[in-house]
Amino acid sequence: MTQADPIFRCAIGDDVIEASIVAWDSEVLGAPVAQIDRIEISDNGAFAATLTEFERWRDALGCAFVSCRLPHTRLRESMQLEDRGFRFIEMVFCMELRHLDRLELADSDLQIVAADPADIPELARIAETGFRWDRFHVDPRLGAGFGGRRYARWVTSTLVHQQQRLLKIIKDELTIGFFIYEELPRQTIHWQLIAIAPTHVGQGYGRQYFLALLHHHRDRGFLTIRGIVSANNMPIVNLLSSLNFRVTKPQITLHWIRPGLTIS
Ligand SMILES: CC(C)(COP(=O)(O)OP(=O)(O)OC[C@H]1O[C@@H](n2cnc3c(N)ncnc32)[C@H](O)[C@@H]1OP(=O)(O)O)[C@@H](O)C(=O)NCCC(=O)NCCS
């Protein structure tokens, strides 16, 4: 699937839904996966018609899975979606650290290197086995294989991605984890995917890992670092809070999975 994949838009009065096919997840799943990109509803009761149009589009394409992320206060929208079979999966936080240039940072005993193609199998294996708290692993209707394949493929795709960069975090010869990020305007780093190898989690490497990354990006002139984390992931929320990150923009994620479908 390509950038020209189908998109959906329906606006009736003040009610709007926009959705699109997620090419990436569709390839991993082997069936169309969609996401609702925008949803706004008024209280005039016309929303059912907009949602029915969306369902027609979804079913005509044979979508197996639809996700939707909403600001956590959009309860009217989430309730309507739950009425149509969507299920609440998680809350997420944007974690952001600003003014990197003004921070006192302890040293880290980890080192950072740009990953090269020879590193991909090892880093993809960490991605495949390392995640537990994200929406693909906590949704009880999804087997762990789908999330694992998705994250492994993400690591591999950084080789050809225009914007995303892959760093390897090491302690001498030992691989501790990886960090996938994009550079945004205003000297901002947005991380996309981060993990410490399962054999090294829970041993205090998390703090060293982030200190090394903060030094790395600060040394290159970046001032803000941010990323989205699941509120289920207490280790990362607590770790980042202790490093002075702030929680912003809470959102909720809902999933719809075609009834009767098994995704393993
Ligand atoms: C998230 C991650 C980077 C954290 O690194 P870590 O070295 O394993 O973290 P730690 O075990 O040192 O825990 C970090 C903090 O969370 C706390 N914590 C750990 N487990 C916890 C739990 N179950 N509940 C609440 N707090 C917990 C720890 O007490 C610690 O805080 P402290 O240093 O003040 O004591 C690492 O576990 C990881 O990469 N996991 C797999 C992939 C992943 O989840 N990536 C993040 C996606 S956004």
What tens digit of pLDDT does each residue of 17-75 get?
999 999 989 999 999 999 999 999 887 777 889 999 999 999 999 999 999 999 999 99
Q: Are 112 and 234 contained in the same domain?
A: yes
Give this prediction's pTM.
0.94
Where residue 140 sits, what CATH number does that domain have?
3.40.630.30
In a domain, 124, yes or no: yes
> Do the bridges between strand 65-71 and strand 33-40 make them parallel or antiparallel, or are there none, so unpaired?
parallel
Provide the number of structural domains found in the chain: 2
Q: Which of 60, 85, 110 is where one domain is finished? A: 85
What pLDDT score was predicted for residue 153? 96
DSSP 262: -
Does residue 245 share a domain with residue 184? yes
Do 45 and 169 lie in one domain? The reply is: no
Average pLDDT over residues 75-97: 97
The three-class DSSP label of residue 147 is: helix
Same domain, 79 and 145: no
Write down the pLDDT at residue 5.
Answer: 63
The enclosing H or E element of 181 equals strand 174-184
Q: What is the pLDDT of residue 2?
A: 45
Q: Is the pLDDT at 211 greater than 70, yes or no?
A: yes
152 and 210: one domain? Answer: yes
Residues 116 and 155 in one domain: yes
CA-CA distance, 175 to 18, in Å (whole number)? Answer: 42
**Ligand 1 binding pocket includes 235 (Cβ within 6 Å):** yes
Q: Is 138 in the pocket of ligand 1 (CB under 6 A)?
A: no
**Mean pLDDT across the chain:** 95
Question: Is residue 76 domain-shared with residue 108, that is, in the same domain?
Answer: no
Whether 135 and 172 share a structural domain: yes
Residue 179 lies in a domain: yes
Substitution site in 181, 200, 236, 245 for ligand 1 pocket (most atoms within 8 Å of beta carbon): 236
pLDDT at 207: 97
CA of 90 to the centre of ligand 1 (A): 18
Q: Verify that 23 and 43 share a domain, yes or no.
A: yes
> Distance, CA 241 to ligand 1 centroid (Å)?
11
**92 CA → ligand 1 middle, Å:** 16
* AA letter at 111: Q
Q: Which amino acid would we find at residue 192?
A: Q
For residues 236 and 118, membership in a common domain is answered with yes
Is 139 contained in some domain? yes
Long-range contacts made by residues 173-182, C-beta under 8 angstroms, separation at least 24? 175/119, 175/122, 175/123, 175/126, 176/110, 176/200, 176/205, 176/208, 176/209, 177/126, 177/130, 177/205, 177/209, 178/115, 178/123, 178/126, 178/127, 179/112, 179/213, 180/154, 180/155
Atom of ligand 1 nearest to the CA of 133: 44
Residue 256 lies in a domain: no
Counting Cβ atoms within 10 Å, is residue 219 exposed (0-12), middle (13-18) or buried (19+)? exposed
From the CB of 208, is ligand 1 less than 6 Å away? no
Amino acid identity of residue 178, one-letter, is F
- Please tell me whether residues 68 and 197 are part of one structural domain: no
14 DSSP 8-state letter = T
261 in a domain, yes or no? no
Full domain range(s) for residue 24: 7-85
**CB of 239 shorter than 6 A to ligand 1:** yes
Last residue of a domain, one of 41, 66, 85: 85
Q: Which of 138, 176, 196 to mutate to test the pocket of ligand 1 (most atoms within 8 A of CB)?
A: 196
Cα-to-centroid distance, 262 and ligand 1 (Å):
31
Query: Are 54 and 125 in a shared domain?
Result: no
Which whole number is the average pLDDT over 187-196? 98
- Is residue 188 a part of any domain in this protein? yes
Residue 148 near ligand 1, beta carbon < 6 Å = no
Closest to 15 (Cα-Cα) out of 101, 89, 80, 82: 80
Residue 121 confidence class, pLDDT cut points 50, 70, 90: very high
In a domain, 1, yes or no: no
